[in-house]
Amino acid sequence: MSTDLGRQGLRFAIIGGGMAGILAAIRLRQAGEKFTVYEKAGRLGGTWRENRYPGLTCDVPAHAYTYSFEPYAEWDAYYAKGGEIQTYFEKTAEKYGIMPHVRFDSEVVSAVWDEEKGFWRLGLVTGEEVVAEVVIAASGVLHHPKLPDLEGLDSFKGRAFHSARWQDDAPVDGARVGIIGNGSTGVQIVTALSTRASRLVHFQRSPQWIMPVPYFQYSEEEKEAFRREPALIDEIRNNKEYWDNIYRFTHAITDTHGPEIAAIEAACLDNLENSIRDPELKEKLRPNYRAACKRLIYSWSYYDAVQRPIVEVERDRIARIEPEGVRLADGRLHELDTLVLATGFHADRFIRPTTVLGRDGVSLDDIWSVRPTAYYAVTIPGFPNFFMLNGPTGPVGNFSLIDIAERQWGYIDQLLGLLRSGEAQTIEPRAEAHAGYEERRIAAARTTIFGSGCNSWYLDATGVPSSWPWSYEAFADAMSAPVMEDYAMTVEAELVAR
Positions touching ligand NAP (CB under 6 A) are: 57-60, 142, 148-150, 163, 180-186, 188, 205-206, 295, 318, 342-345, 455, 457
| Run of H or E residues at 275 | helix 259-275
To ligand NAP, the closest distance from the beta carbon of 55 in angstroms equals 9
358 vs 451 by CB, closer to ligand NAP: 451
To ligand NAP, the closest distance from the beta carbon of 9 in angstroms equals 38
Chain residue whose CB lies nearest ligand NAP: 183
47 vs 385 by CB, closer to ligand NAP: 47
Kindly list the distances between the CA atom of residue 274 and the CA atoms of 265, 267, 268, 299, in Å, as whole numbers in the listed order: 14, 10, 10, 14
399 vs 411 by CB, closer to ligand NAP: 399
Q: Which amino acid is at 458?
A: Y
5 vs 454 by CB, closer to ligand NAP: 454
| Partners of residue 123 on adjacent β-strands | 110, 129
To ligand NAP, the closest distance from the beta carbon of 443 in angstroms equals 24
To ligand NAP, the closest distance from the beta carbon of 252 in angstroms equals 16
The answer to whether 326 touches 333, Cβ cutoff 8 Å, is yes
Alpha carbon distance 265, 285 (integer Å): 14
The answer to whether 254 touches 452, Cβ cutoff 8 Å, is no
21 vs 181 by CB, closer to ligand NAP: 181
Helices (H), 76-151: 82-95
> Could you give the 3-state DSSP secondary structure of residue 383?
coil
Alpha carbon distance 470, 451 (integer Å): 13
To ligand NAP, the closest distance from the beta carbon of 248 in angstroms equals 18
| Partners of residue 491 on adjacent β-strands | 494
The answer to whether 134 touches 12, Cβ cutoff 8 Å, is yes
State the CB neighbour count (10 A cutoff) for residue 214.
8
Q: Which amino acid is at 362?
A: V
326 vs 488 by CB, closer to ligand NAP: 326
To ligand NAP, the closest distance from the beta carbon of 316 in angstroms equals 11
| Partners of residue 355 on adjacent β-strands | 110
18 vs 384 by CB, closer to ligand NAP: 18
Tell whether the torsion through CA atoms of 421, 422, 426 and 430 is positive or negative: negative
The answer to whether 379 touches 471, Cβ cutoff 8 Å, is no
Tell whether the torsion through CA atoms of 350, 353, 358 and 361 is positive or negative: positive
To ligand NAP, the closest distance from the beta carbon of 492 in angstroms equals 44
To ligand NAP, the closest distance from the beta carbon of 464 in angstroms equals 17
314 vs 428 by CB, closer to ligand NAP: 314
Best CA proximity match to 338, nearest among 163, 88, 475, 98: 163
163 vs 271 by CB, closer to ligand NAP: 163
To ligand NAP, the closest distance from the beta carbon of 109 in angstroms equals 25
